[in-house]
Structure 1
Amino acid sequence: MAPSSSSLSFTVRKCQPELVTPAIPTPHETKLLSDIDDQEFLRFTYSIIQIYGNESSMANKDPVRVIRQALAQTLVFYYPFAGRLREGRGRKLMVDCTGEGVTFVEADADVTLDQFGDSLQPPFAYATEFLCEVPDSQELATCPLLLIQVTRLKCGGFVVATGWHHTMADGAGLSQFMNAWAEIARGASAPSISPLWRRELLMARDPPRITRNHREYEHVEDTKAPGTNSNDNLVQRSFFFGPTQIAAIRRLVPYHLRQCTAFDIITACLWRCRTKALQIEADEDVRMMCIVNARNRFKPPLPVGYYGNAFAYPAAISTAGKLCGNPFGYAVELIHKVKGEVTEEYMHSVADLMVIKGRCMLTTVRACLVTDLTRARFREVDFGWGKSLSGAPALAKTGPFLAATHIVSYKNPKEKMG
């Protein structure tokens, strides 16, 4: 049933999970993940939800059947997803390409899109009803690397929920996979972009050497007394940043920073507001980790088709007092500067750090994480029924971060949400 906290009640009837395997036999081999892929922080399943409306031209087609068949064909090209993870010496992760398949659940819900009203906007209030149950992701040997549920709605629309083990791909990589899947659902015989494994490009060097200051991985003591964790009172909310809102905030930015991005402005605003709300002591450090796609930071850029994790989480750091007491431009400049630190050498240094320090965890103490998923374009994935009405993370939790912030594209009646 839908959550009791909502006035809308409906039932989702799920069939037994099945394993969808590649449509034809695929290579049985072992592939190493990169040292960026197999970080401790990424060893979890992350879920995206896409919501589609009815399309009259597809009236005679069943979305579950179309999407399932296309998935089997797509796994021929992306066959590592049909395998299972293994852990080797030094906790090194690899994929045993067994062709066992990915989890697929067919479901039906006795509800229409209209009944959801405004709740379609991220975070989708009923997301958990449409998610395939995620097994313990620590059980690497048995955990499927993709978990998909397609739920038909009474109105002819449907919901696609895709969970993937984050060690296999980042948001850009998953977007590449999903667009290949959608192309095949629309009738293509092969993806327009051929997938490339090439994980050796982000392996640690021999010998490994840390050449950059990676404060995102520092061990930080939590000064909060037991039982006073600020995460206990956090709630998930959406805020719309359309052109009008962005322009209003940009007026607070000094002239020399006027070319900063909307991401810089939104992130700086959220960082200051969050720090004030949590009432962090003025002399304590706070961190804002900005996920930066590093594909084009390499020279030459990583090859087209690479779908592994290729991002960094550089941390902007300030004392809470300086962050909240200085003009707004102070926060914007910190965000803008730290994003620029991500280079090819930075990425190699992170990979080396993982080997030297035993795949250490990101710090979560007085830290927040922001990821920009607008360029992943999950809303544009078209299985034949047109673009999705909403495409966004299903849950706020991102690994150890109970309340990560996601910047996603969403169209309301007037403007987009940044």
Structure 2
Amino acid sequence: MACSTAPLRFTVRRKPTVLVAPAGPTPRELKRLSDIDDQEGLRFHIPVIQFYRRRADMGGRDPAPIIRAAVARALVHYYPFAGRLRELEGRKLAVDCTGEGVLFTEADADVRLDHFGDALQPPFPCLEELAFDVPGSSDVLGMPLLLFQVTRLACGGFVLAVRLHHTMSDAQGLVQFLGAVAELARGAAAPTVMPVWERELLLARDPPRPGFAHREYDEVPDTKGTIIPLDDMVHRSFFFGARELAAVRSHLAAGVRKSATTFEVLTGCLWKCRTVALAPDADEEMRMICIVSARGDKSGAGIPEGYYGNAFAFPVAVATAGDLCANPVSYAIELVKKAKREVNVEYMRSVADLMVQRGRPHFTVVRAYLVSDVTKAGFGHLDFGWGKPAYGGPAKGGVGAIPGVASFLIPFKNAKGEDGIVVPMCLPGLAMDRFVEEMAKLMRPAVDVAAPPRQQQPDMYAMIKSAL
């Protein structure tokens, strides 16, 4: 099928999609997901994409059969991925471990990797062809939980697209599985990190007793039409390197400037600028939903190494549009910091309890914005034998089926070789213009703080307008 996104045009030719089953025997059993996994807001498929360059020492080897065989071997260890979801009482999701397998498509494209430009980043041209949605495969129940497509490029490189049903894993869990596939593709006998199921760690208590307000799950009516029509959206990406981040920090109050993390700075900055751009009524409540991991010792949740389920919460910062627009950006950042601090083992238990008590609700999307940080997930380190990817990470700028609600923070090296973070943004056309203007203000350093030097310093407004 031919696909065009000016100025790039290319054709993708796909072979028939096949099912790849585990390479050996696997248990036949029913495994319940956790009460964090099966909430409504995670019942969708999420795509990631990896671009790989040609590698001379691979001797022209075909990546498709190598990766397909490695997937089959990895599924012996991660056999629930080869099963199908079923819904039990109380909308409880469980994996029927049938061993049926995952979807796999081989394809060829008459395009070179360098045709995509020096800076690979979402939105990608012809994504629907590089990550083909096999008809009938996108439902929640009874469908394959993973889809792979390997597209060989004319230059000898290739594109690996992977689509995951989000109830099975978060970004770290998916990278753990793909890391196992990568190790096996490179010739390892077994994965270094063995999978751990243990979804009972994040089940609700009996009886459930939520202990937090959880305003991220408020039922908010869309009385003013704030859910944005899909056909009115503009997709752009914004780059934040050392200089851009220093410029933004120069606008912050001294205490916030020193204590806020890069995630908190960018999230607060994006929230404020997005609110100004959308121009809601001053009394409307705006929500900033943060993705906060419960892994590691700080949360106390006891998530073991090898756990590949969803292990995060959606804490939310709430403020009126008037307060966000009128106050300095430090105000928004402080609210983000406060929301993040809530997440600990008790918060995770409270979320699980709320899911059971309220029928597994979706997080609020009305006047809400969600930011997910995948800078440390590890997509950029997945090596299937062809080295690290030229780009690895989310294939789209948002999550789920609702446009404009979410952005990822993605590790990125720009065309000048500078490391930083790229943030895909999706907004209505006029709002995008206002967003660019607001971001440009924050990327001009305040006069009292010097930014790191850079040769031929560009005009920040012109740089953003060029859609890095």
Fold equivalence (TM over 0.5)? yes
Q: How far 1:368 sits from its partner (Å)?
A: 0.7
| Structure 1 residue identity aligned to 2:42 | L
| Structure 2 residue identity aligned to 1:299 | G
Q: How far 1:137 sits from its partner (Å)?
A: 6.2
Q: Is the 8 A contact 1:123 1:392 kept in 2?
A: no
* 1:390-405 pair list within 5 angstroms: 390-403=391-404, 404-405=406-407
Aligned length, in residue pairs = 417
Q: How far 1:135 sits from its partner (Å)?
A: 4.8
* 1:4-403 pair list within 5 angstroms: 4-118=4-118, 120-135=120-135, 139-225=139-225, 229=228, 233-257=232-256, 258-296=258-296, 297-299=298-300, 301-403=302-404
In 2 relative to 1, CA 203–124 (structure 1 residues): closer, same or farther, beyond 3 Å?
Answer: same
Post-superposition CA distance 1:363-414 (Å, at most 9, x none): 1001011000111121110001000011121123412431210100111123
Q: Is the 8 A contact 2:4 2:125 kept in 1?
A: no
Secondary structure in 1 aligned to 2:180? helix
Q: How far 1:141 sits from its partner (Å)?
A: 4.0
Secondary structure in 1 aligned to 2:13? strand
Q: How far 1:415 sits from its partner (Å)?
A: 1.4
Distance 1:395 1:20 in 2: 25
Q: Is the 8 A contact 1:103 1:146 kept in 2?
A: yes
Matched with 1:408 is 410
Distance 1:82 1:44 in 2: 17
Q: Is the 8 A contact 1:230 1:278 kept in 2?
A: no
Q: Is the 8 A contact 2:119 2:413 kept in 1?
A: no
Distance 1:224 1:254 in 2: 34
Post-superposition CA distance 1:10-29 (Å, at most 9, x none): 11000000000111011111
Matched with 2:452 is none
Identity %: 55
In 2 relative to 1, CA 16–134 (structure 1 residues): closer, same or farther, beyond 3 Å?
Answer: closer
Secondary structure in 2 aligned to 1:362? coil
Q: How far 1:53 sits from its partner (Å)?
A: 0.3
Distance 1:391 1:360 in 2: 31
Distance 2:138 2:56 in 1: 43
Distance 2:384 2:228 in 1: 43
In 2 relative to 1, CA 186–120 (structure 1 residues): closer, same or farther, beyond 3 Å?
Answer: same
Distance 2:57 2:384 in 1: 13
Q: Is the 8 A contact 1:82 1:145 kept in 2?
A: yes
Distance 1:232 1:277 in 2: 18
TM-score (norm 1): 0.96
In 2 relative to 1, CA 402–149 (structure 1 residues): closer, same or farther, beyond 3 Å?
Answer: same
Distance 1:112 1:5 in 2: 15
Q: How far 1:153 sits from its partner (Å)?
A: 0.4
Q: How far 1:171 sits from its partner (Å)?
A: 0.5
| Structure 1 residue identity aligned to 2:235 | Q
Distance 1:31 1:383 in 2: 30
Secondary structure in 1 aligned to 2:307? coil
Secondary structure in 1 aligned to 2:147? strand
Secondary structure in 2 aligned to 1:9? strand
In 2 relative to 1, CA 233–225 (structure 1 residues): closer, same or farther, beyond 3 Å?
Answer: same
Distance 1:382 1:306 in 2: 21
Q: How far 1:300 sits from its partner (Å)?
A: 5.9
> Unaligned stretches of 5+ in structure 1?
none
In 2 relative to 1, CA 387–138 (structure 1 residues): closer, same or farther, beyond 3 Å?
Answer: closer
Distance 1:148 1:333 in 2: 41
Tell me the C-alpha RMSD between the 2 structures: 1.6
Secondary structure in 2 aligned to 1:355? helix
Which one of 420, 424, 430 corresponds to residue 417 of structure 1?
420
* 4+ long deviations beyond 6 Å: none
Distance 2:370 2:141 in 1: 29
> Unaligned stretches of 5+ in structure 2?
422-468
Secondary structure in 1 aligned to 2:114? helix
Secondary structure in 2 aligned to 1:209? coil
Q: How far 1:70 sits from its partner (Å)?
A: 0.6
Q: Is the 8 A contact 1:194 1:305 kept in 2?
A: yes
Secondary structure in 1 aligned to 2:10? coil
Distance 2:187 2:142 in 1: 32
Secondary structure in 2 aligned to 1:358? coil
Distance 1:77 1:206 in 2: 31
Q: Is the 8 A contact 1:128 1:394 kept in 2?
A: no
Secondary structure in 1 aligned to 2:240? coil
Distance 1:197 1:276 in 2: 43
| Structure 2 residue identity aligned to 1:417 | G
Distance 1:135 1:264 in 2: 40
In 2 relative to 1, CA 136–370 (structure 1 residues): closer, same or farther, beyond 3 Å?
Answer: farther
Q: How far 1:301 sits from its partner (Å)?
A: 3.0
Q: Is the 8 A contact 2:45 2:138 kept in 1?
A: no
Secondary structure in 2 aligned to 1:280? coil
Distance 1:291 1:72 in 2: 31
Q: Is the 8 A contact 2:295 2:301 kept in 1?
A: no
Secondary structure in 1 aligned to 2:19? strand
Distance 1:267 1:364 in 2: 17
| Structure 2 residue identity aligned to 1:72 | A
| Structure 2 residue identity aligned to 1:409 | P
Q: How far 1:3 sits from its partner (Å)?
A: 4.1
Q: How far 1:136 sits from its partner (Å)?
A: 5.1
Post-superposition CA distance 1:128-178 (Å, at most 9, x none): 220031555674443100000000001000000000100000011001111
